[in-house]
Structure 1
Amino acid sequence: MSSAPAYTPRHGAVYPSLAGTTVLITGGGSGIGEEIVRSFARQGARTAFIDIIEEPSRALVAEMRAEGHEVVFERADLTDIEATRGAIERIRAAIGPIAVLINNAAHDERASIDDVTPEFWDSRQAVNLKHQFFCAQAVYKDMVARGAGSIVNIGSFAYVAGVENLTPYLAAKSGVIGLTRGLARELGVHGIRVNCVMPGFVMTKRQLDLWVTPEVEKTIYERQCLKRKIQPADIARVILFFASDESGVCTNQAYVADAGWT
């Protein structure tokens, strides 16, 4: 993509409704999640995140606190539902009832059809889908009590594009759409909005280290309508909108942010 014109995004919008709001993000220690944490903290939200990785997560907390922002980290394996519930209880005790949930954590491990075992299949559903429901279950009553809330589930454009050797991941991410629609219908009566954001090929460190070759860059350039790389901040900005009051009548939706690939 070296032939793509340079593009430097301007500063993002400020959402007054997020200031002082309690926000919980899963998988906030790296990748897109790391930028989501930064973005909410810089909006003045009381921000907490769960991740399994310790050192990068603690470094992010230190970075944000050095900027004067309130950020809390709890370590938990999100595939362990009881451990996740415990982490959420500790976060609630630290920052108060949860008003916004960002179900971000995921893992796009590749495997061909012959390499997929029942155990691998179940592990992919657990890390990419199952915890989203149980995190919502654990926090929605906080939102009921305040008469409003926002849940943003992170899906992926990949299941629409049909990326190779990702079938269990694609199955889980398509399931995020069904989860979003089910929760939106069930929780809407309480003023809780539930939406899904489906990122495109985002240039996280993991993607750059593992998958972004010159050939892949060429494919991205050819297929995206916008001829530039998608950065984590691009996705975080979309999520901020769906979390804020500016999207007050938006629910039961799946928004694709893939620079026009699909």
Structure 2
Amino acid sequence: MHIRLFAFDLDNTLVDRSGRISASNRWAVEAARASGAEVILVTGRSWRSTLPLYRELGMTGPAICYLGALEVADGTGRVSSHRPLSPEAWERLRRLALDEGLAITAALAVAGQGPSRGAGLACAPFAVDTALATRRADDFNGWEDWNPYTEIDPLLGRLPGPPTLAAVYGDRSVRRVLEAFPAGLPDSQFDLSDRIPGETVLHIWHAAVDKGTALAGYCRRRNIPPEAVLAVGDNTYDVPMVRFAGIGVAVPGSHPAALEAADWVATPAEAVARALRLGG
């Protein structure tokens, strides 16, 4: 079937470990767009850190960020959908962190309203990324690399509601959260894949959020069947969208779970070229 939508992960898929987009990956996006198909970025990044790459790639349409918790409609950051942590989960995590001095960061994607589109019309929400932390973790290296715009707010009092995503930093804080919530938190999921010596991070976000669910919702609204979608990724977070797509692609060197889920193993450029040949 002719591909109507190409979905690309960013880190280690379109963007290399140094933060650069290669000429071949840039060609993949341009060729996909030139075919008449839609192109969408589906990333774990915040909108704030996605935007420079979005602009570099010449994107103008939607983007899915925070592993699927946020969808923006275009380069203005106008929010199409947002799924933060549940209030109960956030209050329990926040209370533990404050009571025991744990190092947690709360990232909120929607912190403001955009300009009114006319008299009597409600203001549309816009993505305004805010990141607040109780403190720096003394057993965590590379805080600045992980938290380029995070501000310290010991009581997290400036947060207007549950965050889009929470991160627990350092071995001590992570261990304590896992001990306190052995069955997890209500309507939430935990991920401890970032367990590098000296850089342990536990990510927590809504249980209903993943890249595949977000991409499927977008496709339903656009009337695009799964078989007309090609999705490219590299990690466990990408597995749901790779499985959703009619053609799921894992780049060479991907996590074993992504390789197992994929129909093809190919670079973005190879996948786009092959799909365009198949589509005639």
Q: Same fold (TM over 0.5)?
A: no
- The TM-score normalised by the length of structure 2 is 0.26
TM-score, length-normalised on structure 1? 0.27
Bigger proportion of residues as helix: 1
Greater percentage in strand: 2
Q: If you compute each CA radius of gyration, which structure gives the higher value, 1 or 2? A: 2
